[in-house]
Amino acid sequence: MATYTSADDIDRAEVAALYGLGRLTLEPLGGGAANSSFKVTASQDTFVLTILDNHDHASACRLALHTEAMFKLGMPTAEVVRNAEGDAVSTLSDRPVLLKRWIPGRVAGQLTDDLLRDAGGLLARLHDAPAVQVSDLPVGTRRLSPSHLEAIDGFADREFAEWLKSGLAKVRAQEDRLRDRPVVCHGDVFADNLIARPDGTLAIIDWETISLDSALLDLGMTLLGLANVHGRLDKRRADLIVSGYMDWSRELANGKPQDHASSVR
Ligand SMILES: Nc1ncnc2c1ncn2[C@@H]1O[C@H](COP(=O)(O)OP(=O)(O)O)[C@@H](O)[C@H]1O
Ligand SMILES: [Mg+2]
């Protein structure tokens, strides 16, 4: 279990020196469940400092590398700011930290119809990204492990266990039928990882669960994140996400991506 960092635990002068910034202020940010993030306001710019409470140095470097790769590939995401030594990951009080440029806007919350379509489009763009340009991409990590699958037989709620097993069998059959090529997946397209920008488009952050996997699985995770209303699948919201996804996929297949504001950084 991670111990989370509070603003008082952070030496602002040390952060300023690390990144060559002037006097700065720190403001805790909500939303994240896994790490501790702070809005950093300095005279130069506004940033997000993330203390990676759940990471060691090696996994923090992978996260930085993946975030940088996504930014370079043109995904509307946060730019990693390297420290004065040129390193993407710094260490503060023995913990790995990342500094990223602030994306103006607001955490999306309940997405409007237009933003649901935009989220689908963003996912289609991600799935079209060249996986070879993302090094050290984990494979199939958003799936139940063999021990998870075994645990289902021990569930006290037998009705739920049977429902889950038959659902999994149906999914497997669909996957076998589709034999879709694995794509770059985000794995956590929930509202707290989307920022609604003033120009009406979305930015996507938090590449901790990036993987190479089936597009269908990532689309399913996205429906779980964005079309889930009080624990139930909202078909209208799901349709908007899927139609945004299909529109983009068609445009990409035709080799002429839409004149879509979110394609422009
Ligand atoms: N570049 C950014 N611009 C604006 N807000 C951000 C940015 N990065 C993170 N945030 C805010 O910080 C929260 C947590 O960041 P995130 O990278 O998702 O960390 P976690 O791994 O803890 O979920 C987000 O929900 C968002 O509110
Ligand atoms: Mg997050």
Q: What pLDDT, in 10s, does the model give residues 22-63?
A: 999 999 997 666 789 999 999 989 999 999 988 999 999 999
Q: Atom 1 in ligand 1: which residue has the minimum CA distance?
A: 102
The reported pLDDT for the residue numbered 265 is: 35
Give me 19's structure tokens: 């990144």
The reported pLDDT for the residue numbered 261 is: 44
- Which one of the ligands is nearest to 36 CA? 1
> Could you name the CATH architecture of 113-263?
Orthogonal Bundle (1.10)
Q: Residue 140 is which amino acid?
A: G
Name the residue ranges covered by the structural domains of the chain.
7-102, 113-263
Across residues 113-129, what is the average pLDDT?
97
The reported pLDDT for the residue numbered 262 is: 44
The reported pLDDT for the residue numbered 1 is: 44
**Do the first three CATH levels of 7-102 and 113-263 match, i.e. the same topology?**
no
Residues 212-253: pLDDT tens digits?
999 999 999 999 999 999 999 999 999 999 999 999 999 988
Give me 213's structure tokens: 């996997």
> Is the confidence at residue 258, as pLDDT, over 60?
no
Q: Is the CB of 193 under 6 A from ligand 1?
A: yes
Residues 163-214: pLDDT tens digits?
999 999 998 888 888 777 899 999 999 999 999 999 999 999 999 999 999 9
> Which one of 46, 48, 210 would you pick to mutate in the ligand 1 pocket, going by the greatest count of ligand atoms within 8 A of its CB?
48
The reported pLDDT for the residue numbered 252 is: 86
Q: Is the CB of 195 under 6 A from ligand 1?
A: yes
The reported pLDDT for the residue numbered 132 is: 95
The reported pLDDT for the residue numbered 253 is: 85
The reported pLDDT for the residue numbered 263 is: 43
Q: Is the CB of 36 under 6 A from ligand 1?
A: no
Strands 211-213, 183-185: pairing kind = antiparallel
Q: Model-level pTM?
A: 0.91
> Is the confidence at residue 264, as pLDDT, over 50?
no
Q: Residue 65 is which amino acid?
A: L
Nearest to 248 by CA among 141, 123, 105: 123
The reported pLDDT for the residue numbered 176 is: 81
Instruction: Kindly report the average pLDDT of the chain as a whole number.
Output: 91
In this structure, the dihedral spanned by the alpha carbons of residues 70, 73, 78 and 84, taken in order and rounded to 10 degrees, is 90
Q: Atom 17 in ligand 1: which residue has the minimum CA distance?
A: 206
Residue 107 CB burial class (10 angstroms; 0-12, 13-18, ≥19)? middle
State in Å: Cα 37 to ligand 2 middle: 9
Distances, alpha carbon 19 to alpha carbons 29, 91, 98, in Å: 20, 12, 11
Share of the chain above pLDDT 70, in %: 94
Across residues 83-100, what is the average pLDDT?
96
Spatial CB neighbours of 62, under 8 Å, sequence gap ≥ 6:
136
Residue with tokens 């923090």: 60
The reported pLDDT for the residue numbered 32 is: 61
Is-contact 100 83, C-beta < 8 A? no
Nearest to 217 by CA among 151, 166, 165, 171: 171
From the CA of 103, give the closest atom in ligand 1. Answer: 3
- Which one of the ligands is nearest to 63 CA? 1
Q: Indicate the CATH number for domain 7-102.
A: 3.30.200.20
